[in-house]
């Protein structure tokens, strides 16, 4: 596998607030004043203790922990929230909600975002590149560490230096970065959760800064590899994102843990949950308890994707690199599409899996798939986004019946 593209050099904030890294840890999982995101008030609260039972298939996205099955779109809104809480509890750590204060300034193509909560402050900057074609307000795509897809015409590019918010240098970089300066180095949020928080703050800043000519209804997010995993998490948690494009995110992103484990067992050198937690800080410390008993997890990553539904999601993937778990990504995301089917929006979610290129090098024969999604979800055009395809032999051997023991409801 390749190594991450180095992030752009960290920029010096226009105003440098005096922040000291938190030395007094808050207890993991809590963020004292900011409100975690929550679902509709009519939803049943998730029990504080859940008895987990092993399920070797991809869990039913429609079935609540209570055993009830979602039958309507209103039910789905509650189940979506439940899934979000489950991911935070078992895999990703707690995502704090809106901070107490957020201000932003825009100058010279730099958007400076100042955030305060519980008496601490941080400031971070993103660059905004306005396209030379199209017209204001422009659609925009937030790129983790820049874009690894070709820059779409008429779309602004917001470059997010995610490593500045939460470091991902190695397994020993936990708790490092501006998110942890604000919320404490012991905060339960994994790096990917901290980045998703950062993306939400970028959107908050765009909402209050009318001098940035961005159309708030047309915001996308993308990243490749580890940053593709991150982009998927951002799209999952923030419903203001219209289009999510994880590129070659592999196991821990668009791949399902259960299928990746099966691949390794069959002799394919694929990344698994058990391996990934030793490599980096993308997941919460809690998650380590489950990596050797993946069937006990009450979800898999088809359900991380499902949080994006019915918004736009295009999975861009590579059949040529075993480490990325191409079979896992294919089976996982074909299964995720069933949630869009249930919501009557099957073509808002696509998979384009093509081999014979280097990791994160976008092949030209996927351009049409990318354009179809960008043109529909970021430019409002009427395109055909019925795209679920792999160039892997025999549909990569994925047999639905081996992994899916539930049916797709029609959510009224
Ligand atoms: C696909 O993303 C990761 C992968 O999870 C890691 O095991 C590997 O070291 O790096 C990949 C990556 O981010 O490559 C740029």
Q: pLDDT by residue (tens digit) across 85-102?
A: 999 999 999 999 999 999
* Residue nearest ligand 1's atom 5 by CA: 226
- Is 250 near ligand 1, meaning CB less than 6 Å away? yes
Q: What is the pTM of this model?
A: 0.92
Beta-strand relationship, 120-129 and 156-160: antiparallel
Rounded to 10 deg, the angle between the 257-265 and 326-342 helix axes is 150
- Is 4 near ligand 1, meaning CB less than 6 Å away? yes
- Is 324 near ligand 1, meaning CB less than 6 Å away? yes
14 pLDDT tier (thresholds 50, 70, 90): very low
- The torsion angle over the Cα atoms of residues 43, 47, 53 and 56, rounded to 10 degrees, is 40
Structure-token pair, residue 187? 């905060």
* Residue nearest ligand 1's atom 13 by CA: 226
Q: How far is CA 118 from CA 19, 91, 370, in A?
A: 12, 26, 42
Whether the predicted pLDDT of 42 surpasses 60: yes
Residue 118: CB atoms within 10 A of its CB come to 16
- Is 225 near ligand 1, meaning CB less than 6 Å away? yes
CA distance 185 to 174: 8
Mutate to test the pocket of ligand 1, among 170, 254, 323, 358 (most ligand atoms within 8 A of CB): 323
* Residue nearest ligand 1's atom 4 by CA: 226
- Is 114 near ligand 1, meaning CB less than 6 Å away? no
Mutate to test the pocket of ligand 1, among 2, 274, 282, 320 (most ligand atoms within 8 A of CB): 2
Which residues are designated catalytic? 225, 359
- Is 278 near ligand 1, meaning CB less than 6 Å away? no
Determine the distance separating the centroid of ligand 1 and the alpha carbon of 102, expressed in angstroms: 33
Q: What is the pLDDT of residue 200?
A: 98
> What does the DSSP 8-state code read for residue 88?
I
Mutate to test the pocket of ligand 1, among 2, 148, 226, 359 (most ligand atoms within 8 A of CB): 226
For 388-404, what is the mean pLDDT? 93
Residue 317: CB atoms within 10 A of its CB come to 30
* Residue nearest ligand 1's atom 10 by CA: 3
- The complex scores an ipTM of 0.98
CA distance 268 to 242: 35
CA distance 44 to 64: 10
Q: What is the pLDDT of residue 397?
A: 86
Atom of ligand 1 nearest to the CA of 360: 15
pLDDT digits (tens, 9 = 90+) for 168-217: 999 999 999 999 999 999 999 999 999 999 999 999 999 999 999 999 99
């Amino acid at each position: 596998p390749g190594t991450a593209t180095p992030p752009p050099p960290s920029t010096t904030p226009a105003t440098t607030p005096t922040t000291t890294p938190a030395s007094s840890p808050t207890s993991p999982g809590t963020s004292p004043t900011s409100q975690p995101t929550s679902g509709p008030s009519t939803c049943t609260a998730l029990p504080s203790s859940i008895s987990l039972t092993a399920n070797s298939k991809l869990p039913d996205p429609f079935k609540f922990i209570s055993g009830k099955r979602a039958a309507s779109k209103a039910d789905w809104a509650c189940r979506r929230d439940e899934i979000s809480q489950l991911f935070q509890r078992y895999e990703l750590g707690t995502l704090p909600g809106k901070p107490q204060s957020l201000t932003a300034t825009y100058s010279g193509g730099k958007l400076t975002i100042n955030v305060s909560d519980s008496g601490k402050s941080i400031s971070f900057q993103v660059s905004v590149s306005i396209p030379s074609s199209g017209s204001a307000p422009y659609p925009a795509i937030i790129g983790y560490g820049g874009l690894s897809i070709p820059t779409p015409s008429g779309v602004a590019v917001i470059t997010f230096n995610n490593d500045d918010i939460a470091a991902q240098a190695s397994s020993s970089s936990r708790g490092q970065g501006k998110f942890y300066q604000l919320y404490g180095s012991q905060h339960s949020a994994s790096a990917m959760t901290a980045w998703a928080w950062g993306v939400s703050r970028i959107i908050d800043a765009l909402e209050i800064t009318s001098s940035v000519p961005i159309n708030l209804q047309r915001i996308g997010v993308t990243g490749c590899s580890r940053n593709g995993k991150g982009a998927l998490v951002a799209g999952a948690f923030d419903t203001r994102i219209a289009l999510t494009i994880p590129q070659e995110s592999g196991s821990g992103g668009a791949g399902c843990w259960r299928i990746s484990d099966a691949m390794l067992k069959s002799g394919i050198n694929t990344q698994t949950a058990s391996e990934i937690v030793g490599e980096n800080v993308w997941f919460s410390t809690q998650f380590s308890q489950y990596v050797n008993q993946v069937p006990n997890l009450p979800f898999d990553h088809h359900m991380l994707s499902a949080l994006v539904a019915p918004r736009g999601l295009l999975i861009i993937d590579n059949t040529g690199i075993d480490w990325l778990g191409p079979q896992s990504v294919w089976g996982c995301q074909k299964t995720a599409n069933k949630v869009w089917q249930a919501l009557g929006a099957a073509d808002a979610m696509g998979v384009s899996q093509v081999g014979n290129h280097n990791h994160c090098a976008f092949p030209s024969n996927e351009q049409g798939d990318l354009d179809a999604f960008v043109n529909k979800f970021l430019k409002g055009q009427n395109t055909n986004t019925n795209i679920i395809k792999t160039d892997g032999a025999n549909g990569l051997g994925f047999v639905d019946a081996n992994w899916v023991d539930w049916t797709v409801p029609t959510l009224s």
